[in-house]
Structure 1
């Protein structure tokens, strides 16, 4: 019985990042000036848009980085590289849940996070 209780406890904690961090994240994009159209691109595919800025969009987290490409009439196109980083709950998950928890969170994207808010200054055309 004690073994089953311990096993149940480990299973419940095994997806710590999934529970604490979740598998999706809102990315807020601010531009100077406001009113830009920004595409979020991952692995060459547009996964969403913030139009107009400022605004936010909820995306699924993965290990793949994002490029945020903003355009506005009268301004040069601006790009922001948003690196997929390790979520804070991942370390605790590895310690408490061991390899099982990390595998679950890695597969779901819960062990990743992106920078937010993103602040982009656009340069006027000459």
Structure 2
């Protein structure tokens, strides 16, 4: 194996896509609902009706999701962006240059695969186990 091949093994830019497909769902009091949703991070903004599979641009920043349905309180979700395993390969094999490129492009990060929006609540989802938190929204 050549030195170039060894040093490129961990590069997310080569091994990963700039986009990630996520499963977006919405529920109200435990029942699935159709809702109009906006997903936003520092790389862009996407609109979709839940439930759906949505492709978003990866980022090192969190993904904010707001869903609306007439007659229901809004559902808000924040998906935490976490370093993908391939980013560590960049640091080990690439001396950090690949990691800097992947960081700026966002490809070295992933969001949780599922975005379960709960109408009337503010939820944070994280790929790390036991990291989901929920807060009730107050309506005025």
Question: What TM-score, normalized to structure 1?
Answer: 0.78
Separation in 2, partners of 1:65, 1:108:
14
2:60 aligned counterpart, secondary structure:
coil
Partner of residue 74, structure 1: 71
**Which segments of 5 or more consecutive residues in structure 1 lack a partner in the other structure?**
none
Separation in 1, partners of 2:41, 2:107:
17
Counterpart of 2:48 (choices 46, 50, 57) is 50
Counterpart of 1:13 (choices 9, 12, 18) is 9
Which structure is larger by alpha-carbon Rg, 1 or 2? 1
Question: What TM-score, normalized to structure 2?
Answer: 0.71
Shift of 1:103: 1.8
**Which segments of 5 or more consecutive residues in structure 2 lack a partner in the other structure?**
121-138
Number of residue-to-residue matches in the alignment? 117
Q: Determine which structure has the larger helix proportion and give its number.
A: 1
The higher-RCO structure (CA 8 Å, 6+ apart) is 1
1:100 pairs with 2:126: no
After superposing on structure 2, the runs of 4+ consecutive aligned residues of structure 1 that deviate more than 6 Å are: none
Separation in 1, partners of 2:68, 2:76:
9
Counterpart of 1:88 (choices 64, 75, 85) is 85
Q: Determine which structure has the larger strand proportion and give its number.
A: 2
